[in-house]
Structure 1
Amino acid sequence: MARCLMQLKELRIVACGVEEIVAQEDGAKAAARLVFPKVTLLFLCKLPKLKWFYQGAHTSEWPLLKHLDVIGCDQIEILISKSLSFQERVEESQLKTSIQQPLFLVEEVAFPSLEALKISHMANLKIIWHNQLVEDSFFKLRLLEVKFCENLMSIFQSNMLIRFQSLEKLLVHDCGSLQEIFELQGQDVGDPQAVTTIPLKELDLRRLPKIKQDLHIVICGVEEIVAQEDGAEAVARLVFPKVTLPFLCKLPKLKWFYQRAHTSE
């Protein structure tokens, strides 16, 4: 079964009690193929009962999607998945209770045109990506914004960094359980061959109380460490109470830690 919305360009669903985006046809057994050939924006906001995009086994295609926002959709199990039904995913998760399900679980190319991804107010989210993303998934992503995800443990796993070669701006705010941004376990950060280059221009980290003591920023195009808030005029106070080892290595475009007047501790 294939469903194709040929003319739809933007899909916005805001502040309602919807549990699924696309309803399953009665008696449907074959895996559904959901195609959105012209959609450039998907905006899901304040949907407290949303559980899945489509309940049955399915694949979905978003060839032109550039902007994806998922805000306050705390009951979502998996937003985009491989061709499994929701029930099968539940059975898998019950068999693997120690493994947390990611927001995106895909085995084929996902979002080949996506440039901006914003995730916020997702208190139950622990993992964003599946650790086996295929080569061209998210490879055009330029902006990643993650805010108010209280149980999120890390942003990127070490074996995934090569997928984000276009990432220029990374904002992470108010994630109370977050311990690390880039997981570099098993990598020698002093070896240029072992670390993936990411063309970051802006890295904005705020109110992350459990971030690990070592702050490593290595081999990227970041120009500043802490970004200025829009309209900020007062002298900023930057406090890093648990950092014992700041490590800045091979940052050829770094100009300053914080551009405006500030104190740091």
Structure 2
Amino acid sequence: MFFDGMEKLTVLELNEVRMLQLPPSLANLVNLRMLCLNECQLEDITILKDLKNNLEVLSLRGSDIKALPSEIGQLTQLRLLDLRDCNKLSKIPQGVISNLSRLEELYILDSFVQWEDATANKERSNVSLDELRKLTQLTTLHIHIPNAMLLPKDICFENLIRFIISMGESFDSFEYQSSTRMFKLVGVPFRDEFNVLLERAEVLHLEKVEGLQKVTFPALEQLNIYGLPKLTEIWDRKLPPPESFKELWDLSIWSCKKLVNVGLSNMPRQLPKLRALYVAYCQELKVVVLENGEENEKAENNTNTILFPQLTGLALLHLESLKSFCTSRSERQSLFTSQVAFPALEVLTIWELHNIIEIWDKQILIASEKESKSFCQLKDIEVSNCEKLVQVVQFNMLPRLQNLKKFNVDNCPRMEVIVSEKEKEEGTTTNDIIVFSQLTTLNLFELVSLKSFYNWPTRYEAQPLFNHQVAFPVLEDLKLQKLPNMIEIWDRQLLIASEKESKSFCQLKDMKVSNCEKLVHIVQFNMLPRLQNLKKFNVDNCPRMEAIVSEKEKEEGTPRNDIIMFSQLTTLNLSKLVSLKSFYNWPTRSKAQPLFNQQV
């Protein structure tokens, strides 16, 4: 027999094995303490009852077992039972769970949801949640309860140290973190028994919960507030108990339509470890941080700055009433003023803020020592669907953005420039070079009013997108889509390069140009030496484009037989270019030209 002579075996793992019936010799393993049958094809496991004297750990995780036999209730020495990912499990007989009185760890999650009502006047065939009350030594519980009405009134979670508990709606896969204490309530009336879970939870998801009372959260690390339509404020105007929220680092607020602010100016003191703040779809939110009386009095004397010292990620999405991040006394509606500072911020995402006219107030540039490093760690900016925004950043703000690596601007219909013209100061010139020294990715999409990246002084109405005053020495990915006013990508003056900008665009590897209706060519011949690292080149739906590379400008005494070489190019896509005559517009007497001639 298979297990004969193995009586001293204490641990056995038989994972990913097909065993419709466990071998009878398994009963001989009288000293077995741990048995793992993970991801096995199982039918009859009744024989496990013979291991009742010593078996302490039983894992059936991921197996296809459909019913747990009642004999499992005889394993009274069990300390751990793992039924996670048993997606076919539909029956756990009444009394099995309650018999396992020494159980310390129970893992079920949403593998089993057929809990029966213990109060119903009918004979039950399946387990009820009432049996959990018998597990007085339970310290770890992973369970999903689809109907909280099935939970007994005097259930006690006091002994739980580790838990993943969801009621009403299970955790989505993306919500699972490395945390060992997670609690989710969706559409469930709040009960006093839940207080201990709220206080101990590190990840908390509350959605459509009624009856929530004041409670402290000393261990809470992540807080998700979703779909609370009557919520107007999150925190009391007084500071909560000092032990509450001290560990919170991730705060997400979604679809709270009556919420008017996220917190007061004491918010950084309330949430000293806050690293990520996400606010979306709150229609009446006017400010994120509201100044209260005491703080407002100090602000009048310009003696305080609201500092978020650890915040690295900030997303403000679909906030149609938002006027400013912090209460502003300025008539001009700037998202960020000198009243607030973010010295550690790395990712900034802004979508559909219809009232914002500018992102950074001009006063922020007259920086105090505390805020002089605000935004200096910014690596990723995304601005989308801000209909009143006419530029992203003022020229004088650029020194703070030298760590920027990704820059995305999308669908801002009034935006004319990305960087506004430098304000004239007495004794200064306007020929400064703008260098984005770390920027590797730039996407400009559906900017119907965009005239140029930088609004530099010129006599001409038509401007190239990039002029000689803008440099991108490490840019690798450039995407330009739906820019109807763009007639030229690179200025001819760019080719007369200063030392600072001579390497601009030289690291470009991936370029896509799409739906730019006035563009007649992509690149001038003289620009090609800078594009020798280009690997992917996509041009799509530019109806007036006649050539990808424009003809070389005539220079006295020079021939025109230069060879155009794209030495690194591996992918070239040309699509829907109805006016395209040739890849390179070379001089010829013939009207008909091949796409690729001998000079490419």
Instruction: Quote the residue 1:43 is aligned against.
Output: 408
> Partner residue of 1:28?
none
Query: 1:22 and 2:390 equivalent?
Result: no
Larger radius of gyration: 2
Give the TM-score, by structure 1 length: 0.68
Name the CA distance, whole Å, in 2 between partners of 1:177 and 1:206: 13
Root-mean-square deviation (CA), in Å?
Answer: 2.9
Aligned mate of 1:203, from 561, 572, 578: 572
Distance change >3 Å, CA 247–CA 52, structure 1 → 2:
closer
Query: 2:548–2:583: 8 Å Cα contact kept in structure 1?
Result: no
2:466 pairs with 1:104: yes
Distance 2:559 2:511 in 1: 25
Show structure 1 runs of 5+ residues with no match: 24-30, 95-99, 219-241, 252-265
Per-residue deviation, residues 108-133 of structure 1 (Å, max 9, x unmatched): 6x111100100001111111111122
Cα deviation 1:122-172 (Å, max 9, x = unaligned)? 111111111122221100001110000111111011111111111111100
User: Alignment partner of 2:529: what SS?
Assistant: helix
Equivalent in the alignment of 2:445: 71
Q: Which has the higher contact order (CA 8 A, sep 6+)?
A: 1
Indicate conservation of the 8 Å contact 1:80/1:106, yes or no: no
1:55 — aligned with what?
A: 420
CA distance in 2, matches of 1:52, 1:246: 34
Matches within 5 A, 1:43-192: 43-57=408-422, 60-80=434-454, 84=456, 88-89=457-458, 92-93=459-460, 100-107=462-469, 110-133=471-494, 134=497, 135-185=502-552, 191=561
- Residue pair 2:446, 2:481 contacting (<8 A) in 1 also: yes
Letter in 1 for 2:481: S
8 Å contact 2:451–2:485 — kept in the other structure? no
Q: Secondary structure at the match of 2:460?
A: helix
| Preserved CA contact (<8 Å) 1:20 1:53 | yes
Q: What is the alpha-carbon distance in structure 1 between the residues aligned to residue 584 and residue 416 of structure 2?
A: 36
* CA-CA distance at 1:202 after TM superposition: 1.2
Cα deviation digits, residues 233-256 of structure 1 (max 9, x gap): xxxxxxxxx9653445598xxxxx
Aligned 8 A contact 1:37 1:63 in 2: yes
CA distance 1:243–1:169, change in 2 (3 Å): farther
The residue that corresponds to 1:10 in the other structure is 380
- The count of corresponding residues between Structure 1 and Structure 2 is 204
Please give the TM-score of this superposition, normalised by the length of structure 2: 0.31
Structure 2 matches for 1:211-222, cutoff 5 A? 211-212=580-581, 214-215=582-583
- Helix, strand or coil at the partner of 2:526: helix
Identical counterparts, % of pairs: 25
Structure 1 residues 37 and 202, CA gap change in structure 2 (3 angstroms): same
Does the aligned pair in 1 maintain the 2:488–2:519 contact within 8 Å?
yes
1:34 aligns with 2:398: yes
Confirm or deny: 8 A CA contact 2:550 2:585 kept in the other structure: no
Gaps of 5+ in 2: 1-364, 367-371, 424-432
Higher strand share: 1
Whether the aligned pair in 1 keeps the contact of 2:563 and 2:599 (CA below 8 Å) is: no
The CA distance in 2 between the partners of 1:246 and 1:103, in whole Å, is: 26
CA contact (8 A) 2:484 2:517 kept: yes
- Tell me how far 1:55 sits from its aligned partner: 3.2
- The Cα shift of 1:68 comes to 0.1
In structure 2, C-alpha distance between the alignment counterparts of 1:48 and 1:127, rounded to whole Å? 20
**Aligned partners of 1:33 and 1:60 also within 8 Å:** no
Aligned partner of residue 474 in structure 2, secondary structure: coil
AA partner of residue 245 (structure 1): P
